[in-house]
Amino acid sequence: MHNFGYVQAQSRHDAIALLEEGATPLAGGTELLNWARVGILQPARIVDISRIEDLDGVEPLPDGGVRIGAMTRLNDVAQHPLIVERYSVFSQSILSAASAQIRNLATIGGNPLQRVRCPYFRADEPTACNKREPGSGCAALAGINDRHAIFGWTDECVAVHPADPPVALAALDAAYVVESSEGSRRIPADELHVLPTRNPAWHNVLLRGELITAIELGGPPSHSAYLKIRERESYEYATVSAAVALQMDGDTISEARIALGSVAMRPWRLRNAERLLAGRRVGSPEVAEAIAAGFADARPLSHNAYKITLARNATLRAIETAARA
């Protein structure tokens, strides 16, 4: 670690002004400290936003949705009655993330800003990685890539985003509320992260000086579920995850929203499958056929073809689990 300046912001205005000057935000700090330790990021100045009073809490919205302050701790979100009762997929995704100790510290606004878990990106010794050193190449492309992308990758980057809550937020059509000195904007949950087709070096679409202040969810689905497949039950990132939000009429799906995690650099919506699932009865062969159609654009790397089968089966299981909920 190298020396850095530290400032504690007392308001959103203070924080945004410091971010515009190039400061790095500190919320729960569970990721930032790792970045600094391995040299992924060497901030010259850190602005602590944890003391800003109006950035936490969960409150209902007039349209039947919910607004969550970005500084709300993960466990507080997962256990809040409004989230447990209306958005079980979101609560389940949070409780699947990290450990209870980390969830007591990490924030819901900071969690989506995690960096990729590619071992080449996080290597202690320099290696070819366009996200860490733009223009250096992608060692994972022909290297160890069994945990890497099956959607949206290019020869410049095959990494996946590892976080669980953003996958559920994508399935819920949620939005990140972002503020800057220019005003505020809303970023759809499945558009926060940047695919390498746009820029292999970027992680997200936040601009300098922008601060995530809240997350907003619309009206709840009638049924939902989150399924995380991992090598061990605790403290492990997903090999594949599936978030499903359904509107149902009896045992028939009237509307489906599906997002997959750990298959691309952002939560991946299976929009073709969503369209084909409308009007299908859960348990019918047509449901599996619709899901399979959602994988028409999947492209495995040299060591991860298994992820296509795994993700397809996880999606079917998540739908069946949600329908029973």
Question: 174-211, pLDDT tens digit by residue?
Answer: 999 999 999 999 999 999 999 999 999 999 999 999 99
Report the side by side order of strands in the sheet with 45-48. Answer: 5-8, 45-48, 24-26
Amino acid at 158: V
> Can you state the angle between helices 306-324 and 285-293, rounded to 10 degrees?
130
Distance CA 223, CA 172 (A): 11
Residue length, the chain? Answer: 325
The ranges assigned to domains in the chain are 223-324
The answer to whether residue 234 scores a pLDDT higher than 80 is no
The answer to whether 225 touches 207, Cβ cutoff 8 Å, is no
Distance CA 256, CA 165 (A): 18
Mean predicted lDDT score pLDDT of the chain: 96
For range 130-159, the mean pLDDT: 97
Question: 63-119, pLDDT tens digit by residue?
Answer: 999 999 999 999 999 999 999 999 999 999 999 999 999 999 999 999 999 999 899
Q: How many angstroms separate the Cα of 136 from the Cα of each of 120, 125, 129, 161? A: 12, 14, 6, 20
- Give me the residues paired with residue 212 across strands: 178
For range 2-9, the mean pLDDT: 92
State the pLDDT at residue 40.
86
Identify the CATH number of the domain defined by range 223-324: 3.30.390.50
Q: How many angstroms separate the Cα of 320 from the Cα of each of 254, 274, 300, 317? A: 14, 14, 26, 5
Distance CA 72, CA 55 (A): 7
Hey, how many other C-beta atoms are within 10 angstroms of the C-beta on 234? 9
Distance CA 159, CA 150 (A): 10
State the pLDDT at residue 1.
64
Distance CA 267, CA 191 (A): 9
Closest by CA to 228, choosing from 117, 96, 99, is: 96
Amino acid at 6: Y
Helix, strand, coil % (nearest 5) of the chain? Answer: 30, 25, 50
Q: What are phi and psi of 48, to 5 degrees?
A: -85, 115
- Give me the residues paired with residue 224 across strands: 245
